[in-house]
Structure 1
Amino acid sequence: MKIKVMIADDHKMVREGIKQLLELEGDIKVVTEVSNGIECLEKLKEFIPDVLLLDINMPSMNGLEVLKELNRKKFEVKVLLLTIHNEVEYLIKALDLGVYGYVLKDSGSNILKKAIYSVYNSSKYFEPSITPLLNSKLVQRDIDKIKLELLSDREIEVLTLLAQGLLNKQIAIKLDVSERTIKNHIFSIFKKISVTDRTQAAIFAIRNDLYKVI
Structure 2
Amino acid sequence: MSVNILLADDHLMVREGLKQVLELDHDIDVISEASDGYECLNLINKTHPDVVLLDINMPNLDGLQVLSIMKQQKMKSKVIMLTIHKDVDYLIEALDAGCDGYVLKDSDSETLKKAIFDVYNGETFIEPSLTVLLNSSLAERDVMKDKLSELTKREVEVLKLIASGMFNKEIASTLCISERTVKNHVSNIFKKIEVSDRTQAAVFAIKNNLVDIK
TM-score tier by shorter-chain length is over 0.9
State the one-letter code of the partner of 2:143.
I
Cα deviation, residue 136, structure 1: 0.8
In the superposition, the TM-score normalised over structure 1's length comes to 0.92
CA distance in 1, matches of 2:42, 2:140: 37
What's the offset of the Cα at 1:23?
Answer: 0.9
Post-superposition shift, 1:110? Answer: 1.0
Once the 2 structures are TM-superposed, how far is the Cα of residue 152 of structure 1 from its aligned partner? 2.6
Matched to 2:96, the amino acid is: D
Letter in 2 for 1:194: E
SS of alignment partner, residue 25 of structure 1:
coil
How far apart in 2 are the matches of 1:151 and 1:97? 28
Q: Which amino acid aligns with 2:141?
A: R
Q: Indicate the residue corresponding to 1:133 in structure 2.
A: 133
CA root-mean-square deviation: 1.6
Note the C-alpha offset of 1:155.
2.1
Distance 1:117 1:185, change over 3 A: same
Match of 1:187 in 2: 187
Compared with structure 1, are the counterparts of its residues 70 and 189 closer, same or farther at alpha carbon in structure 2 (3 Å cutoff)?
same
Post-superposition CA distance 1:105-159 (Å, at most 9, x none): 1101111111111101111111111111111111111111222222233322221
- Trace 1:86-101 onto structure 2 (pairs within 5 A): 86-101=86-101
Structure 2: how far apart are the matches of 1:172 and 1:12? 57
* Bigger mean CA deviation after superposition, 23-32 or 7-16: 7-16
Q: Counterpart of 1:75 in 2: which secondary structure?
A: coil
1:178 to 1:36, Cα distance in 2 relative to 1, 3 A: farther
Q: Which amino acid aligns with 2:135?
A: N
Amino acid at match of 2:12: K
Percent identity, aligned pairs only, is: 57
Residues 86 and 183 of structure 1: CA distance in aligned 2, closer, same or farther (over 3 Å): farther
Distance in 1 between the 2:65 and 2:155 partners? Answer: 31
Counterpart of 1:24 in structure 2 is: 24
Partner of 1:63: 63
The 2-side partners of 1:49 and 1:197 are apart by: 52
Partner Cα distance (1:175, 1:8) in 2 = 50
Give CA deviations for 1:45-68 in whole Å, capped at 9, x if unaligned: 111010111111222222222222
What's 2:206 paired with? Answer: 206
Choose 153-162 or 70-79, whichever is displaced more: 153-162
2:77 & 2:130 partners in 1: Cα distance? Answer: 24
- Calculate the TM-score normalised by the size of structure 2: 0.92
Alignment match, 1:115:
115
Residue type matched to 1:197 in 2?
A: D
1: distance between equivalents of 2:42 and 2:49?
12
In structure 1, the residue corresponding to 2:129 is in which secondary structure?
A: coil
Q: Which digits, 9 at most, give the CA deviation of each residue in 1:83-102, with x for residues without a partner?
A: 22443112112212221121
Equivalent position of 2:47 in the other structure:
47
Task: Label 1:183 to 1:122 Cα distance change in 2 as closer, same or farther (>3 A).
Answer: same
Runs of 5+ in structure 2 lacking a partner? none
Q: CA deviation at 1:30?
A: 0.9
Which residue does the alignment assign to 1:104? 104
Report if the CA contact (8 A) 2:205-2:211 is conserved.
Answer: yes
